[in-house]
Amino acid sequence: FLSEVDAWCKVCSEGGLPTEMQELEIAIHRHQSLYEQVSQAYTEVSQDGKALLDVLQRPLSPGNSESLTATANYSKAVHCILDVVHEILHHQRRLENIWQHRKVRLHQRLQLCVFQQDVQQ
């Protein structure tokens, strides 16, 4: 997820907006597909982080087959994972704001094109 954030942000904020209705509709569709891709990646990484935290924070009984790890202290690992999860959340929120801004601009441009077409008719 983190390795893709910069590329996703660049796609969301690059260049001007198309001026033709068909191009705008294609751009809106691509933009929505990007959001779905980002959401899927975020969901996967969030679930993985939560599962990892659950495992590290679950106390093991001494009679467990994993008893060698029962006495280990995973608090540093838990803090490290929490830091990464918070970083991912921060990037996801930032990316969602950038994505939303572009979405609004695309839809406004489409509305403008429709209005201009109506005026010409």
Q: Could you read off the pLDDT of 27-69 as tens digits, one per residue? A: 999 999 999 999 999 999 999 999 998 888 776 655 555 555 5
Going from the C-alpha of 13 to that of each of 9, 41, 46, 51, 106, the distances in angstroms are 6, 19, 25, 33, 11
Radius of gyration of the chain (CA): 22
Q: What is the pTM of this model?
A: 0.79
Quickly name the fold that domain 4-58+71-120 has: Methane Monooxygenase Hydroxylase; Chain G, domain 1 (1.20.58)
Span 66-75, pLDDT tens digits: 555 555 677 8
Query: Contact at 8 Å (CB) between 85 and 46?
Result: yes
Q: Are 67 and 30 in contact (CB under 8 A)?
A: no
Considering the chain, what is the average pLDDT of its residues?
A: 88
Q: What would the pLDDT profile of 3-32 be if each residue is shown by its tens digit? A: 999 999 999 887 788 889 999 999 999 999
